[in-house]
Chains A and B, each alone.
Chain A
């Protein structure tokens, strides 16, 4: 079979075990990128709908069973991704696969018991990667809360560079200002990489005029972000406490991180037993046993005065309602977690502020890995992030032996349209390049683009 498939830009053979929420996001994105996908799941009805909607092959059965994996073509697979409900099944599935085939394996493991030992498990079981959507979501929320002006924070270059999404408020002095003037007036330490206006996304040039109501994404070195935001006259009062609704895994990870950086954390959880567990795990946090969607309880626990509010219940609708309520009665910075991605248009119209989609975080991490894998010999992708409803990609490349782009001043490179080179990280020194700078071997480069599916640094050329 493999021999007769033409080699024109051949995709990878990927097996995905489990078609839950993350599974479907992965199938959607990876099949769009032209990979050959086989899905294993126990539920035949789910597989039926799946094969109607996506161009994939389906196998019904237990993903950890060797014979099922063989039926799905494990011998010729390049990668197996286990994202079933059960951690143990995922680990077993990947272990069986990496023993029998020559493929890499990615497992989703989210129980805190295992996630502490993630590295040990990874090395011992021979996995390529272990992903934990809840932990990723918690990381994301933490990043947003530590920079409350931002709607969204994406780290690059191991956290040295951050891409921050900010909404320009009414009457800001940025209203009606050309981008080149901003850098003249304020500082040159940052770059506006993309602007969303009325649902359209632009990669702005110097002559682009900002308007209030725009959502812009700003790239800067981490140490400069705070000062940049201050210079732009955005109010940024640091957050000291937070109120979390729901005591699930994300809440646990988040509370642990926030307590570490000195926040006061209050968690409202309905289930008494879970509350007791949490109080043992998080001795410094205040655990409240009660219904987080009860208005009186929220008032009693001081929703009016809290700095930040994070609804993390398992039900998206509840989370959205809670955020809308919170923005009505208080000035708290709210971060909403949304699990399903249906009705994104409606959600985008609600003005929720910061929204975190755990399944996107997971699939982005995996897709970055897949793209890097497809191009393992040359310059690889380090990080990949989708911005503005997946219309813009921000990608970090590591440059290795790419003579077509290195040692040439950027101004002389024939770059594609709708592409902006944001930051160069050279031996730990981060800077925003001008036209005279060149790429060098060993640099890592962050760029934003509206093109899809960049695999290689050479893709930036026309």
Chain B
């Protein structure tokens, strides 16, 4: 494996994290909070390590998929470890595993918290928590690709490892410009939401944190009751933007290019909206008796549906108290997740569509055993490879899910809590049901269970395989051993 290039990428990511930590430092300055020093110290350490790691340029810049995956997974792990340090230094979260849980939950846009009282946190820590959502939402390496001229044409492997969805395409020929374009759309939409929230008379700090949380489909609230305390207007704005950020960003690119027809005809996006509408309708009728009036019922049901399907995890009401049908619908939505190529998590609508189509095709071949039928999406035949990888993804997902649930069961908590805790972390949502419901939190788990959940969050965000490759013994062997023989080879090649 090309270890020196992986080291270089990790170094760049750390340098970038150091730069991003300027934002909480600035917040601390504005609010005159002493917690800012913790961020500043971490910033300096992180930056220094980054500079040391990137000091020597890698000789070989070609990387293959395995390096792309390993680099991505390692970057996320390093990013989370350094991101967790300030929480420990300020003493706001005393245990390191707790701090790591909180940070991973931030970067993976999960939004699951171990804090029992969020409002005790300083402004700079609160903003950093929300800001990690924003960075993690579109992807750290995508951001890196957009701003740093990394040499080597094979960086597509990095983007492939980080971007959600069964198949990754480019919008424009150059990777750098694709990454920039994505971030431009992302920044623009975040800004629009920010302005709209300000119009709804939300305080600037709250509006900024909430915009970050929505954009990354994260879900860290800065209030104990999440968004329940804000005005209906604000709740509607957040609902709409949550849904918008769950749409495949290719659709926005088409709209931007004035190819509206193409954007509207995207099958995945259509299905996504149909699922949302259906879920809202069912929950609306199911919970009608709980609220007063049509507007309130509609607002709460659509907010919760949007929050769960896009894997954001904000809440305006305690949906744990809802009737069983509504609770079931919400759990189902957790697994479906948002569109591929959005900032959301979950299994992704496109995978679900593809799997349903495979089932339909299989049924059809029972009727006509000799028939030939190709699965199509957007009118284009889907490669067998893609179908296969979606099936493998689903099976791996189930296996990881069961294993995590098994480990969590030792806690002795009830099954719904454990089940939804795993579901909420692996799908990057945040709140589950019962003990981990919107009014509860993850503080009750022991450190071992927390580590399992941390791994679940990372696996869910990176779409399983980039993280799984780190558990392959051969990968470690290659990471550590092959350097010597490779050097030998390049020398021979030069001669």
A residues sitting closer than 8 Å to B (CB atoms) are 1, 4-5, 13, 31, 36-38, 44, 51-57, 199, 345
Contacts and interface: CB of A to CB of B under 8 A. Distances in A.
Given A1-B181, A4-B181, A199-B495, A56 B154 contact: no
A31 B257 contact: no
14 contacts: A4-B180, A5-B174, A31-B153, A37-B173, A51-B170, A52-B154, A53-B154, A55-B155, A55-B156, A55-B173, A55-B175, A57-B170, A57-B172, A345-B493
Contacts of A1: 171-172, 177, 181, 256-257
B157 interface: yes
B153 A53 contact: yes
A36 B172 contact: yes
A36 B65 contact: no
A55 B153 contact: yes
A284 B480 CA distance: 66
Contacts of A54: 153
Contact of B173 (A38, A44, A52, A199): A38
A34 to B, nearest CB: 9
Contact of A56 (B173, B181, B493): B173
A104 B373 CA distance: 40
A372 to B, nearest CB: 21
Given A52-B65, A52-B157, A199-B495, A57 B181 contact: no
Given A4-B184, A5-B174, 19 more contacts: A1-B171, A1-B172, A1-B181, A5-B172, A5-B177, A13-B173, A36-B172, A36-B177, A37-B173, A51-B170, A52-B64, A52-B65, A52-B157, A55-B173, A55-B174, A56-B173, A57-B170, A57-B173, A199-B494
Nearest to B176: A55
A5 B178 CA distance: 10
A36 B174 CA distance: 6
Contacts of B157: 52
B482 to A, nearest CB: 20
B324 interface: no
Nearest to A349: B495
Contacts of B154: 52-53
Contacts, number: 48
Nearest to A27: B153
**Which 10 A-B pairs give the minimum distances between C-beta atoms?**
A36-B173, A57-B173, A55-B153, A57-B170, A54-B153, A55-B175, A37-B173, A38-B173, A56-B173, A1-B172
Contacts of B184: 4
Contacts of B295: none
B414 interface: no
Contacts of B171: 1, 57
A345 B491 CA distance: 13
Contacts of A36: 172-174, 177
Contacts of A4: 177, 180-181, 184
Interface in B121-173: 153-157, 169-173
B483 to A, nearest CB: 22
B242 to A, nearest CB: 26
A31 B173 CA distance: 10
Looking at B174, B176, B383, the one whose CB has the most chain A CB atoms below 10 A away is B174
Contacts of B64: 52
Contacts of A345: 493
A180 to B, nearest CB: 31
A52 B65 CA distance: 8
Contacts of B153: 31, 53-55
A232 B383 CA distance: 63
A44 B65 contact: no
A373 B72 CA distance: 39
Nearest to A34: B174
Given A1-B257, A37-B173, A44-B383, A51 B181 contact: no
Nearest to A198: B495
Interface string B52-79: 0000000000001100000000000000
Contacts of B256: 1
Interface in B55-108: 64-65
Contacts of A38: 173
A352 B171 CA distance: 45
A8 to B, nearest CB: 11
Contacts of A44: 383
B375 to A, nearest CB: 14
A5 B172 CA distance: 10
Contacts of B174: 5, 36, 55
A234 to B, nearest CB: 29
Contacts of B155: 55
Contacts of A53: 153-154
A407 B170 CA distance: 49
Contacts of B177: 1, 4-5, 36
Nearest to B262: A71
A92 B313 CA distance: 54
Contacts of B493: 345
A153 B177 CA distance: 41
B163 to A, nearest CB: 13
A193 to B, nearest CB: 24
Interface in B294-308: none
Nearest to B184: A4
A51 B383 CA distance: 16
A143 to B, nearest CB: 32
A192 B153 CA distance: 36
Nearest to B152: A55
Given A1-B257, A44-B383, A52 B156 contact: yes
Interface string B366-397: 00000000000000000100000000000000
Interface in B202-255: none
Nearest to B177: A5
A124 to B, nearest CB: 31
Nearest to A14: B173
Nearest to B380: A60
A371 to B, nearest CB: 18
A13 B177 CA distance: 13
A51 B172 CA distance: 12
Contacts of A56: 173
A180 B386 CA distance: 65
Nearest to A5: B177
Contacts of B65: 52
A433 B180 CA distance: 48
Nearest to B157: A52
Interface in B448-495: 493-495
A434 to B, nearest CB: 38
B180 A51 contact: no
Contacts of B383: 44
A364 B17 CA distance: 44
Looking at B169, B170, B173, the one whose CB has the most chain A CB atoms below 10 A away is B173
A212 B180 CA distance: 54
Contacts of A51: 156, 170
Contacts of A5: 172, 174, 177
